Amino acid sequence: MSVRKIGEQRYRGQIGRYFEEFEIGDIYEHRPGRTLTDTDNIQFSLMTMNNHPMHCDAAFAEKSEFGKLLINSGLSLAVVLGMTVPDVSGKAVANLGWNDIKLTAPVFAGDTIYAESEVLDKRESKSRPNQGIITVKTLGKKADGTIFMSFERNVLIQKREGSTDDAANY
């Protein structure tokens, strides 16, 4: 989160970046990380109606190749995506799409995960002069450096000039 000076000795936290602040090749290391728990996994799985036994039946999972419950990949995707918001999409008008989502390693309860995003592309919007589109590639990494997930995302971002943000009153 960045801050903006709003008075002599007063600052206000801001989320996100304006379109002009993104540069192709920039990499954002998203912090803090998140340690996932069995409770997170069970609650997310139940909330999303995913009752696959690898997420909720320890006796079943014990007999699998992993020997224990797997974190629901929807949960790990949601957490990684959420980690990117303060750096990537806090000033988004809209997410335009996710591409090439890959799950490359298992995630287990007790794993601490982090994320990083690289700006791959940036262009002006043809139909919205006060906005632009960025493309980022995000990696989900375990604390030991194992990459367990990757995806690309296109985001419509507000430009600073003509912004509908009213940061002074937010």
Q: What is the amino acid identity at position 131?
A: Q
> How would you label 128-157 residue by residue, b for 16+ Cβ within 10 Å and e otherwise?
eeebbbbbbbbbbbbeeeeebbbbbbbbbb
pLDDT at residue 168 greater than cutoff 50: no
* This prediction's pTM: 0.89
Q: What angle do CA 37, 43, 46 make, to 5 degrees?
A: 140
Q: Most confidently modeled of 3-17, 33-47, 150-164?
A: 33-47
* In contact, 110 and 135? CB cutoff 8 Å: no
Mean pLDDT of 71-87: 96
Read off the pLDDT band of 60 (50, 70, 90).
very high
Closest alpha carbon to 153 in 57, 85, 71 = 85
Classify residue 25 as left (phi > 0), alpha (psi -120 to 50) or beta: left
What pLDDT is recorded for position 167?
46
d(C-alpha 86, C-alpha 23), whole Å: 16
Q: Which domain holds residue 7?
A: 2-169
Q: pLDDT by residue (tens digit) across 124-163?
A: 999 999 999 999 999 999 999 999 999 999 999 999 886 6
Number of structural domains in the chain: 1
Mean pLDDT of 54-70: 96
CATH number reported for the structural domain that contains residue 63 in this entry: 3.10.129.10
Both tokens of 97, joined, read 């799409």
